[in-house]
Amino acid sequence: DIQMTQSPSTLSASVGDRVTITCRANQSIYTWLAWYQQKPGKAPKFLIYKASSLESGVPSRFSGSGSGTEFTLSISSLQPDDFATYYCQQYNDYPWTFGQGTKVEIK
């Protein structure tokens, strides 16, 4: 199975900050990577596919980049609604696997 590792596990930031979350795969997944946002008790929200393609309706302050084994999710100016846990997921090879999550909390 492809292992996905996110860093940091927790990130403390303030409204207006630029934040970056890293996701690493233990083998190349090309650009077959998605990002999701989850708030406590809520359904995950789909943000990005193919590493950098923004899902329709997702604010443009979100962006994704990377290829191969290293990827990033960036939020250009953190908004109150963005405090949540973020997960990356590879879909290069079955079984699809997820990172362990990065919690973005208020500083």
Binding site for another protein (CB under 8 A): 32, 34, 42-46, 49, 55, 87, 89-92, 94-101
**Least distance CB 96 / another protein (angstroms):** 4
**Least distance CB 15 / another protein (angstroms):** 26
Q: Closer to another protein by CB, 17 or 65: give it.
A: 65
What span, in angstroms and rounded, lies between the C-alpha atoms of 40 and 38?
Answer: 7
Q: Closer to another protein by CB, 83 or 101: give it.
A: 101
Q: Residue 8, preceding bond cis, omega within 30 degrees?
A: yes
Q: Closer to another protein by CB, 17 or 96: give it.
A: 96
What span, in angstroms and rounded, lies between the C-alpha atoms of 14 and 105?
Answer: 8
What radius of gyration, in Å, describes the C-alpha atoms of the chain?
A: 13
**Least distance CB 90 / another protein (angstroms):** 8
Nearest to 6 by CA among 95, 87, 94: 87
